[in-house]
């Protein structure tokens, strides 16, 4: 007999947070999905913001109102709204996240709200400043950040700073982050609200 988790698995988006030619975010996202594939309590799907070709935010109304008018916004909102939780894969650009990722986040409001997020950052120092900024941005959207994050450094986890070859133990970081993410996503909303109060 299938367990309750197998009957009703969480839907988790692994968001590819960069679009530039030569990016590594897609390769890193594939690696995360490969590690996550062995879990039966959630279904993991890669969501590449490059596939949505979002222009600079161009809605007349603030996202808070949920009155999306443009076809690209409606498509993006439908996709993001279908998930229970998120894993953001982001490089660090000038001590923060890529502008395209901030733009994609800024398009929506309710679709992000009250859902947890985990993080995989990469850069010279593991993408920690980018992840730190991302936590602050998402907090304003009522997204709960889980604490274990995956930190990938260009000198150690990328051969010649270009070919992704994660060092030993990085898979355990991914598993710890996913454990925390699934636990948070499964937590009753009332418990989360009481803890935040």
CATH number at residue 189: 3.40.50.360
Q: What pLDDT score does 191 carry? A: 58
Total domain count for the chain? 1
Where in the sequence is the domain holding 142, given as residue range(s)?
A: 9-196
Q: What pLDDT score does 8 carry? A: 81
Q: What is the mean pLDDT of each run of 10 residues along the chain (197 residues)?
A: 60 98 97 95 97 97 96 98 98 97 98 98 97 98 97 97 96 97 85 54
A 10 A CB-CB count for 26 gives 17
The verdict on residue 3 lying in a domain is no
Q: What pLDDT score does 113 carry? A: 97
The verdict on residue 115 lying in a domain is yes
The verdict on residue 95 lying in a domain is yes
The verdict on residue 4 lying in a domain is no
- Closest to 30 in 3D by CA, of 120, 110, 113: 120
The verdict on residue 13 lying in a domain is yes
CA 26, 27, 28: angle at the middle one, nearest 5?
Answer: 90
């Amino acid at each position: 007999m299938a367990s309750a988790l197998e009957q009703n698995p969480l839907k988790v988006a692994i968001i590819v947070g960069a679009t530039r030619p030569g990016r590594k975010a897609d390769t890193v996202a594939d690696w995360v999905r490969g590690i996550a594939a062995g879990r039966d309590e959630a279904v993991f799907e890669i969501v590449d913001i490059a596939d949505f070709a979002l222009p600079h935010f161009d809605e007349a109304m603030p996202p808070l109102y949920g009155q999306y008018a443009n076809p690209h916004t409606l498509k993006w909102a439908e996709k993001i709204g279908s998930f229970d939780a998120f894993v953001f894969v982001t490089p660090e650009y000038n001590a923060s996240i890529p502008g395209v990722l901030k733009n994609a986040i800024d398009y929506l409001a309710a679709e992000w709200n009250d859902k947890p997020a985990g993080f995989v950052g990469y850069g010279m120092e593991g993408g920690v400043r980018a992840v730190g900024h991302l936590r602050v941005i998402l907090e304003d959207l009522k997204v709960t950040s889980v604490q274990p994050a995956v930190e990938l450094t260009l000198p150690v986890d990328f051969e010649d700073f270009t070919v992704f070859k994660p060092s030993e133990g990085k898979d355990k970081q991914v598993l710890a982050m996913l454990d925390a993410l699934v636990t948070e996503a499964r937590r009753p909303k009332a418990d989360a609200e009481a803890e935040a109060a």
